[in-house]
Amino acid sequence: MGNTNEKRPFNFGAISEEYSNFKRAKVVIVPVPYDVTTSYKKGTDAGPAAIIDSSLYMEAFDDELNQETYKIGIHTMNELDVRNLPYPEMAKRLKDALKDLIKAGKFPVILGGEHSISTPPVEGFREIYEDLSVLYLDAHYDLRNEFGGTKFSHACAARRISEIAPVVEVGTRSLSREEKDFLNNPPEKTRVDVISVYDILDDALWQDRVSRLLSKNVYISIDLDVFDPALMPAVGTPEPGGIGWYEFLELLYSVIMEKNIVGMDMVELCPIKDQPASDFFAAKLIYRLLGYMFSSKRLSQLKKEEKDDSNSKEKDTPPKEGILHKGSGDS
Residue 92 phi, psi dihedral angles, 5° rounding? -65, -45
Q: Tens of pLDDT along the chain (331 residues)?
A: 544 455 667 899 999 999 999 999 999 999 999 999 887 788 999 999 999 999 999 999 999 999 999 999 999 999 999 999 999 999 999 999 999 999 999 999 999 999 999 999 999 999 999 999 999 999 999 999 999 899 999 999 999 999 999 999 999 999 999 999 999 999 999 999 999 999 999 999 999 999 999 999 999 999 999 999 999 999 999 999 999 999 999 999 999 999 999 999 999 999 999 999 999 999 999 999 999 999 877 777 766 676 676 666 555 544 434 333 333 334 3
Whether 109 is covered by a domain: the verdict is: yes
Q: Name the region of 242 (left: φ>0; alpha: ψ -120 to 50; beta: rest).
A: left
Structural domain span for residue 207: 12-276+290-302
Nearest CA to 106 among 331, 326, 296, 330? 326
3-state secondary structure of 263: strand
Q: Residues near 210 by Cβ (< 8 Å), separated by ≥ 6?
A: 135, 168, 170, 195, 251, 254, 255
The beta strand positions in 72-216, using DSSP E, are 74-76, 107-112, 133-137, 167-170, 192-195
Whether 4 is covered by a domain: the verdict is: no
Which stretch of DSSP H or E encloses residue 128?
none
* Tally of domains in the chain: 1
pLDDT of residue 322: 37
Whether 282 is covered by a domain: the verdict is: no
CATH of residue 209's domain is: 3.40.800.10
Whether 59 is covered by a domain: the verdict is: yes
Strands 67-68 vs 61-62: parallel, antiparallel or unpaired: antiparallel
Whether 283 is covered by a domain: the verdict is: no
Whether 220 is covered by a domain: the verdict is: yes
pLDDT of residue 10: 87
Whether 33 is covered by a domain: the verdict is: yes
Whether 71 is covered by a domain: the verdict is: yes
Residues 74 and 29 sit within 8 Å (Cβ to Cβ): yes
